[in-house]
Amino acid sequence: MTHAMGRTVGAPALSRRLLMTSMLGGALATRGSTAFAQSDLRLRMFWWGSKERAERTNKVNALYQQTNAGLTVTGESLGWTDYWPRLATQTAGRNAADVLQMDYRYIFEYARRGALLPLDGYQPAALNLGDFSPAAIDSGKVDGKIYGVSLGLNSTALIYDKELIQKLGLKEPSWEMAWSEIGDLAVEISKAAKRDRFTGLADGGRDEPALEVWLGQRGKSLYTTEGKLGFDDKDIAEWFAFWQDLRKRGGCAAPDTQALDRGEIDSSMLTLGKAAMGFHQSNQLVGFQALNKSKLGLTTYPNGGKGAKPGRYLKPAMMWSVSAQSKQQEAAVKLVSFFVADLEAGKLLGVERGVPASDAVRKVVTPTLDELGRTMADYITLISDKVGPLPPPPPRGAGEIQTILRRVNELVGFGKLAPTDGGKQFVIDSTAVLARG
């Protein structure tokens, strides 16, 4: 979901002054609340999402209240666009909910300004992350401390036309295949399919997630922690050259065909019947299958070859955080723990927020899922020990740089720039965007 990693245009920034004032008020209020009895406990939970998510969340809260007499949990929900302005306003006004749904891009801002409670000290008594992998726990850390607990995991995934590739008698793509092998397979598919303007692979040269994995396998990243480019013009020139070679061999979509892709599932090369494989996200399998009659498969992006780093990482689809303003911090942490570690809660939540990060919950939930849900769950299990750390969050202007990547890749594809010149142009334009801040 593109919105899950994007900055909301017009969302008010957290005011440091207002926030510090609110934090002081919250701290004083907390000291004065020690007389709260169990029967007085009231928690507020705030999240973004659909009606289905609200129903699942409320069911878990109801289940939790059954075993915690005297505790009341009140849920509040908005759409993504409205959520962040409301959260900023509530935080500045000392009225933030106790438990907050948090996104990876925003957690750094909220944690570093003191709006979120560090959760490390609550393990394991109040917060049970015993069945989380280290990577899943790290996905909620900011500056070494846990400020968010993953509600579901997601990662990059190559989605492909399984039925077609089987009919053609070719080997399906797998996590053991390197970039060159996927390229060779794409050429074989193009030749075997014998369809007009149909290729084995969509043009991934313009896809930021594919570039990020490719860079990560070489020990580099899209951005540094200082918000600069994490690679140079030679790296990106080599990337453009790989795709230019594949275009010439007929393995990936021609630029005028690829231009039909608007970045949505319904306009992707796979859905339009223009390619057999494409670079996407694991949680998009359901959406792709809904629009494709042919049976689809799921595997990793190509690997970087022997000795390369994983490149991919587990991304929290979303997280629970606890407000530093909460007057019932331990109770709020226990509620978070119930959501992510309790087996019955896991059954109620399913994979609506992503595949459960807890291995124990995932094992219980998986048999209750349909085939597509199980495929996504199995995929997360497969890659859990084949991932690297989360990269630094994208800096301001990253969205514009995605557009530059597409534009320069297209210029190379149409033969208006050589890959080397494309690499230089990309770095010049992207550096200028980052310098503006």
Instruction: For 51-107, write each residue's pLDDT tens digit.
Output: 878 999 999 999 999 999 999 999 999 987 789 899 999 999 999 999 999 988 788
pLDDT, tens digit (0-9, with 9 covering 90-100), for 214-239: 999 999 999 998 989 999 999 999 99
Angle at 383 between CA 377 and CA 384, to 5 degrees: 85
Question: Using 50, 70 and 90 to split pLDDT, how confident is the model at 15?
Answer: very low
Range name among 163-172, 380-389, 407-416 with the lowest pLDDT average:
380-389
Q: Which two tokens stand for residue 43?
A: 């928690």
Question: What is the Cα 74 distance to its own chain's centre?
Answer: 27
Question: Using 50, 70 and 90 to split pLDDT, how confident is the model at 39?
Answer: low
Q: Label the pairing between strands 141-142 and 145-146.
A: antiparallel
Mean pLDDT for all residues in the chain: 88
Question: Using 50, 70 and 90 to split pLDDT, how confident is the model at 178?
Answer: very high
Residues of the chain by 3-state class (helix, strand, coil), percent to 5: 50, 15, 35
pLDDT for residue 263: 80
pLDDT, tens digit (0-9, with 9 covering 90-100), for 294-324: 999 999 999 999 889 999 988 888 999 999 9
Q: Helix 208-216 crosses helix 398-413 at what angle (to 10 degrees)?
A: 90
Q: For 417, which DSSP code?
A: S
pLDDT for residue 377: 85
pLDDT at 12 over 50: no
- Distance in angstroms (rounded) separating the CA atoms of residues 267 and 264: 5
pLDDT for residue 287: 78
pLDDT for residue 14: 53
- Distance in angstroms (rounded) separating the CA atoms of residues 192 and 174: 19
Q: Hey, which of 33-37, 164-168, 263-267 has the most confident mean pLDDT?
A: 164-168
From residue 280, alpha-carbon distances to 182, 209, 242, 265, 421 in Å are 15, 8, 19, 9, 28
pLDDT at 209 over 80: yes
The set of residues, in sequence order, having a beta carbon less than 8 Å from that of 201 and lying 6+ positions away, is 182, 183, 186, 189, 246, 251, 252, 253, 275, 276, 277, 278
Q: What are phi and psi of 321, to 5 degrees?
A: -125, 160
The set of residues, in sequence order, having a beta carbon less than 8 Å from that of 243 and lying 6+ positions away, is 203, 204, 205, 252, 409, 412, 413
Q: For 169, which DSSP code?
A: T
From residue 113, alpha-carbon distances to 95, 129, 393 in Å are 16, 25, 16
Closest CA to 340 of 324, 321, 325, 327: 321
pLDDT for residue 5: 34
From residue 10, alpha-carbon distances to 83, 85, 86, 89 in Å are 12, 8, 12, 13
